[in-house]
Amino acid sequence: MRSAENTPASVVRRRSPSGSERSTVRGSDITPGRREKYWEDRPDTSRRYPWAVAPHVIRIIGDPVLKQRASEVERVDGAFARLVEDMFVTMYEAPGVGLAAPQVGVQQRFFVYDHDDDPGVIINPTIVESRGEAAFVEGCLSVPGLHWEIIRPAEIHVKGFDLDGNELDLELDDFACRVFQHEIDHLDGVLLIEHLTDEQRAEARRALSDLRMRRLAPPEPDLAPGRLRII
């Protein structure tokens, strides 16, 4: 997922075991040490990965893997950690700020993200509560070059786990809320076109048919400040 300028910061509230809440303006549960492990202040990928080629190809609409519900992650080991790091490279090379495992052909329930230059990964995420409604412009690298205004809940409460097996308990709004909902949709086999109105669906069918005929993605949309694309 890539953000345009002036995107509002998201307030992430982490619930403590006692039930109290601690608020910070950030978008990840990665500690400074873990953040250092993956991405040090988000440098150019060529400095850390000299081959500068994304390890995975992002799957495009029409690929059956995008319509399947991903399975729960049952084992987190060295191979899984390397997969997560590869997904960060793929996300940044896109470039983007969110990438779900099914988008690279991996049928497991996790995604990586980087909001406010603060990278994170969440494993087996679940939305336990949602509130309100908000409209944002969304797009998707799995539906290249197209974007629509989508209405989703304005705030969500999400639970999941980090790479160390620690439980994450997050209250999200604004941009982070949108990122998490879009990526969790991917884990459920749902693409953003399934959130469209009838009029938008008709437009989408025409646009996708044109893409298939030309085998080319259209020019990047010129989004107004504060809008976003989801990767």
Q: Where are the domains of the chain?
A: 7-135+154-195
How confident is the model at residue 53, as a pLDDT?
Answer: 53
Residue 36 has pLDDT above 90, yes or no: no
Average pLDDT over residues 6-22: 47
How confident is the model at residue 15, as a pLDDT?
Answer: 56
Is residue 122 a contact partner of residue 160, using CB atoms and an 8 Å limit?
A: yes
Q: Which of 85, 138, 171, 183 is catalytic?
A: 183
How confident is the model at residue 216, as a pLDDT?
Answer: 53
133 a catalytic residue: no
Residue 128 has pLDDT above 90, yes or no: yes
Reported as a single tens digit per residue, the pLDDT across 157-188 is: 999 999 999 999 999 999 899 999 999 999 99
Average pLDDT over residues 211-218: 59
| CATH class (in words) of the domain with range 7-135+154-195 | alpha beta
How confident is the model at residue 54, as a pLDDT?
Answer: 63
Is residue 139 a contact partner of residue 219, using CB atoms and an 8 Å limit?
A: no
